Chains A and B, each alone.
Chain A
Amino acid sequence: MNYNETQIKAVKEFLYKIADDQLIIGHRNSEWTGLGPLVEEDIAFSSIAQDKIGQAQHIYEILHSLGEADADTIAFTRNAAAFKSCHLVELPIGEYDFSLMRNFLFNHAEQIRFDMLANSGLEPLAKLAKKYRGEVKYHTMHANTWVRQLGKANEESHARMQTALNDTFNLALGIFEESEFADILKDLNIFPGEKVLQYKWIEAITPLLEQSMLVLPESSAWQPVYGGRKGFHTEYLEPMLEEMGEVFRLDPKAEW
């Protein structure tokens, strides 16, 4: 990769954003272990979480090859301001309806992102994206199945899922907060841009929500929750990171 300094900066920011989202949502989903509504869902959420965290680790390893710290140091010692995750992934797990809808919205965005990245000019990322597409396919399949079932099953589950959609949608729009480096990434043929991704995402989720008898908020009410990509986070991220690094930070030089 013969990128200049600004281009490297753009690439790094892009990689951090993707990996941080995956680490944080993976961590959150792992919190369902032992608490799911059915043991089958504990298991499913854990599998999805393991995939996401493993994917984050590999992307951090690309960052390491670009001169950043090693994956463990990146994940377990940074404070919140250094994270580029969106607010959607940071919120506590709440109830199952919230966590499921969050997964549905996030996984579809991720699926499309990896489809786009499979042809990226950033070769190590393209290689990973090709592999991850196969994993995320099952994450979206899981979310689709449950959203369809719960959206239509009975009045209570429908109301819960509609409320969860209303509560998460603007947060999910925050996934697509554009980077100041967007044009560089586009010119380098690394990524065509968040707006393109958002457009494709709306196209993908609209029919699925319709099949689930759920209604997307009117576009006039769309108010994307931005800030995460710039290091401004919810109050939930810092305590989560403190917990995540609690043992590692006892002695970062120790081998655990």
Chain B
Amino acid sequence: MYGNAQIDSKDKAKSLTDGEDPIKLAEFEARITRGEKIEPKDWMPAAYRKQLIRMIEQHAHSEIIGALPEGTWITRAPGFRRKLALMAKVQDEVGHAQLLYSAAETLGKTREDMINDLINGKSKYSNVFNYPAMTWADTAIIAWLIDAGAIINQVTNSKGSYGPYCRALERICSEESFHLKYGHDNVVFLATGTAQQREMVQDALNRWWIPIMHFHGPPDKVSQHTEVLMKWKVKMATNDDMRYRFLDEYVPKIWDLGLTIPDPNLKKNETTGVWEYTEPDWEEFKRVINGDGPCNKERLQVRRWAEEKGAWVRRALLKAESKYTIPLA
């Protein structure tokens, strides 16, 4: 589960193609226009490689960090049916991390380097996982609506240009569609259950609405940079496009269950067909992404603990004569 890639505003727009061989660049762009996939050993501009590494790596980190808020509820899931389903779901998320680290490795960065950048705070992951899952109902809302947001993003990105990432995303999306069913089923049981259950799920929706609205990222600034990345099919849709698609598909379903969305301004403009809503606090988004969210420290501490505790196992797998090989894409 993952939101849209964040473009680094510090990258100078014209640097994306600076210094690239114009003939190779033209061939590369023509291939993308024809709908061909770019494969690991093909020529690609340095900025394309850099942006994809950042994007796939962030996605992989989001999967592994995303396993934590839900993972803590595996031990508390009510009943066999939910317990087994949640275990399988969180396991899938870790499996997605495995697929994505491999896809990113094909671009020349090792899994170890990526994980080191994660625990050192250099690489980011999806902001939503810096919020706590306070009750069982939070896990239901996450599995339904966060995964729904992720599917919208991932289905879109699976039509992108980098072959290994697209193939990983196709597999991920088919698993995510089960998560969505699981999450929806879980929310339905709570929303149609006892008064206590209904209250739990409404509270969870209230807590998660802002992170959900943040999920696809702030409105994109239209820049030459964005245009190039869209032409290269690295970025496939604007953040607002994805947010609209999410609202269009899920707001009516949320309302159908009798739940209230905590935004009095949320409505679809009948004339324009566009969703109107209160802009979530983007300053909060920035603050949280830069480390000052309710769970940033805890998430990274847990990840660091796991890395440190597992280091001896990884050392024991190394052989003096073994050489690093890039995984198959």
Residue-by-residue, is A42-76 near B (CB-CB < 8 Å gives 1, otherwise 0)? 11001101100110010000000000000110011
- The interface residues of chain B lying within 8 Å CB-to-CB of A27 are 75
The reply to whether A30 and B310 form a contact with Cβ atoms under 8 Å apart is no
Asked if B64 is at the interface (CB within 8 A of a chain A CB), the reply is yes
Q: Give the Cβ gap from A234 to chain B, nearest Cβ, in Å.
A: 17
- B115: nearest chain-A partner, CB-CB: A39
Residue-by-residue, is B91-118 near A (CB-CB < 8 Å gives 1, otherwise 0)? 1001101100100000000000000000
Asked if A156 is at the interface (CB within 8 A of a chain B CB), the reply is yes
The reply to whether A153 and B75 form a contact with Cβ atoms under 8 Å apart is no
> Which stretch, B22-30, B190-198, B221-229, B242-250, touches the partner chain A?
B190-198
The reply to whether B306 and A34 form a contact with Cβ atoms under 8 Å apart is yes
Asked if B19 is at the interface (CB within 8 A of a chain A CB), the reply is no
Asked if B155 is at the interface (CB within 8 A of a chain A CB), the reply is no
The residue that A76 contacts in the complex, of B71, B78, B194, with Cβ under 8 A, is B78
Asked if A256 is at the interface (CB within 8 A of a chain B CB), the reply is yes
**Contacts A156-B316, A247-B76, A256-B82: A37 and B309 contacting too (C-beta < 8 A)?**
yes
**Contacts A33-B67, A50-B88, A156-B312: A254 and B76 contacting too (C-beta < 8 A)?**
no
- The interface residues of chain B lying within 8 Å CB-to-CB of A153 are 315-317
**Contacts A37-B310, A39-B98, A46-B91: A150 and B75 contacting too (C-beta < 8 A)?**
no
Asked if B38 is at the interface (CB within 8 A of a chain A CB), the reply is no
Q: Give the Cβ gap from A54 to chain B, nearest Cβ, in Å.
A: 6
The reply to whether A50 and B94 form a contact with Cβ atoms under 8 Å apart is no
| Cα–Cα distance between A40 and B316 once the two chains are bound (Å) | 15
| Cα–Cα distance between A33 and B316 once the two chains are bound (Å) | 21
- A160: nearest chain-B partner, CB-CB: B312
The reply to whether A256 and B64 form a contact with Cβ atoms under 8 Å apart is no
- The interface residues of chain A lying within 8 Å CB-to-CB of B88 are 46, 50
The reply to whether A71 and B97 form a contact with Cβ atoms under 8 Å apart is no
Asked if B167 is at the interface (CB within 8 A of a chain A CB), the reply is no
- The interface residues of chain B lying within 8 Å CB-to-CB of A79 are none
- A157: nearest chain-B partner, CB-CB: B316
| Cα–Cα distance between A72 and B82 once the two chains are bound (Å) | 11
The reply to whether A254 and B197 form a contact with Cβ atoms under 8 Å apart is yes
The residue that B76 contacts in the complex, of A46, A53, A72, A244, with Cβ under 8 A, is A244
Q: Give the Cβ gap from A222 to chain B, nearest Cβ, in Å.
A: 28
The residue that B91 contacts in the complex, of A42, A53, A150, with Cβ under 8 A, is A42
Asked if B234 is at the interface (CB within 8 A of a chain A CB), the reply is no
The residue that B64 contacts in the complex, of A34, A41, A246, with Cβ under 8 A, is A34
16 contacts between A and B (CB under 8 A): A36-B306, A37-B313, A38-B314, A39-B94, A39-B98, A40-B98, A43-B91, A43-B95, A53-B83, A57-B84, A76-B78, A153-B316, A156-B315, A240-B75, A246-B76, A254-B194
The residue that A35 contacts in the complex, of B76, B97, B136, B306, with Cβ under 8 A, is B306
Asked if B205 is at the interface (CB within 8 A of a chain A CB), the reply is no
Task: A53-B87, A54-B80, A243-B76 given; name 17 further pairs at CB < 8 Å.
Answer: A30-B74, A31-B75, A34-B64, A34-B71, A37-B309, A37-B312, A38-B314, A39-B101, A41-B313, A43-B94, A43-B95, A50-B87, A150-B316, A156-B316, A247-B136, A254-B197, A256-B78
Interface residues of B in 56-88 (CB under 8 A from A): 64, 67-68, 71, 74-80, 82-84, 87-88
Interface residues of A in 145-160 (CB under 8 A from B): 149-150, 153-154, 156-157, 160
Asked if A210 is at the interface (CB within 8 A of a chain B CB), the reply is no
Asked if B266 is at the interface (CB within 8 A of a chain A CB), the reply is no
Asked if B173 is at the interface (CB within 8 A of a chain A CB), the reply is no
Q: Give the Cβ gap from B176 to chain A, nearest Cβ, in Å.
A: 16
- The interface residues of chain A lying within 8 Å CB-to-CB of B194 are 251, 254
| Cα–Cα distance between A256 and B196 once the two chains are bound (Å) | 12
The reply to whether B189 and A256 form a contact with Cβ atoms under 8 Å apart is yes
The reply to whether A46 and B302 form a contact with Cβ atoms under 8 Å apart is no
The reply to whether A33 and B317 form a contact with Cβ atoms under 8 Å apart is no
- The interface residues of chain B lying within 8 Å CB-to-CB of A138 are none
- The interface residues of chain A lying within 8 Å CB-to-CB of B189 are 255-256
Q: Give the Cβ gap from A215 to chain B, nearest Cβ, in Å.
A: 18
| Cα–Cα distance between A185 and B224 once the two chains are bound (Å) | 78
The residue that B80 contacts in the complex, of A53, A96, A240, A255, with Cβ under 8 A, is A53
- The interface residues of chain B lying within 8 Å CB-to-CB of A76 are 78-79
The reply to whether B310 and A33 form a contact with Cβ atoms under 8 Å apart is no
- The interface residues of chain A lying within 8 Å CB-to-CB of B68 are 34
